[in-house]
Amino acid sequence: MCRHLGYLGPERSVADLVSRGENSLVHQSYAPRDMRGGGTINADGFGVGWWGADGFSRYRSAAPLWSDPVVRETLPNIRSRAVVAAARSATVGMPVQHTACAPFSDDTWAFSHNGVVRGWPESLAGLAAELPASDLLQLEAPTDSAALWLLLRRALGEQDPEKAMSSLVQSVVAAAPNSRLNLLLGNGTELWATTWHHSLSVLVDDERAIVMSEPYDDNPAWQSIPDRHFVSARPGHLIVTPLEMGAR
């Protein structure tokens, strides 16, 4: 399953954030430690996104994170206080292309998914039928994650992130049991995440908030998030609550 990272804190280069630690996101792209049976490596592209004075920008590539020269040649000069990044392991049957890589985005939102929607696309057809055709025409890639983003983006127009994300997990699990739904959402000032059959850790102190599929180092301050939980994080603030099914 893919690996993702959300960062809020003192200004850092994007290259530093994806490379720091002995188990950095770059390391997790070729030697992840906690895939829980969902794939072996995360070689099917990657994406990085950052918020700045002019809003949100991103770079996505179908190349492995460890081999794309942008990491050495460009990302050291892109600095931000708010970053998301993801390394992808394509689910069997889903295409390898840069538009299938997180972060998916719109306006100031950025989204990533670690996992799989079982039985996709048929299992998601009922939920997708509730979307306007104009939304469906904007599907960036024929993948479960791109479809989840359309559903979440629509819900964010009406609900706060906690409600929108927990309702989405509940609906998808009902339609596609045994799905793996670790979601990550950011808007540049806060990060929200779910755990649903996948690994997630957080490191939050007064200066920074980091949400990551696997810790990038052995700092004992990392907290492992239990399965089926919702996380809301920003510097100096961490809330972890159970994802209640049936509480839509």
Give the residue, chosen from 29, 80, 91, 232, that forms a contact with ligand GLN under the rule CB under 6 A.
Answer: 91
Which residue, 3 or 20, is less far from ligand GLN as judged by CB? 3
DSSP secondary-structure letter at 77?
A: G
Q: Are the C-beta atoms of residues 14 and 59 closer than 8 Å to each other?
A: no
* Backbone torsion region of residue 21, taken as left when φ is above 0, otherwise alpha when ψ lies between -120 and 50, otherwise beta: left
Cβ neighbours of residue 82 closer than 8 Å, sequence gap 6 or more: 7, 8, 50, 51, 186, 188, 189
Closer residue to ligand GLN, CB minimum distance, 100 or 110: 100
Instruction: Point out which span in 52-60, 73-81, 114-122, 131-139 binds ligand GLN (CB under 6 A).
Output: 114-122
Pairing type for strands 229-234 and 55-61 reads unpaired
Asked if 43 is part of the footprint of ligand GLN (rule: CB under 6 A), the reply reads no
Which two tokens mark 112? 């990533």
Does residue 24 interact with ligand GLN by CB under 6 A?
no
**Residue 2 appears among annotated catalytic residues:** yes
Position 213 contacts ligand GLN (CB under 6 A): no
CA distance 74 to 9: 21
Choose one: 84-92, 155-163, 221-229, 234-242; the region binding ligand GLN (CB under 6 A): 84-92
- Taking CB under 6 A as the criterion, the residue among 23, 28, 80, 114 binding ligand GLN is 114
Give me the active site residues, please. Answer: 2
Q: Which residues bind ligand GLN (CB under 6 A)?
A: 1-2, 38-39, 88-91, 94, 100, 113-116, 143-145
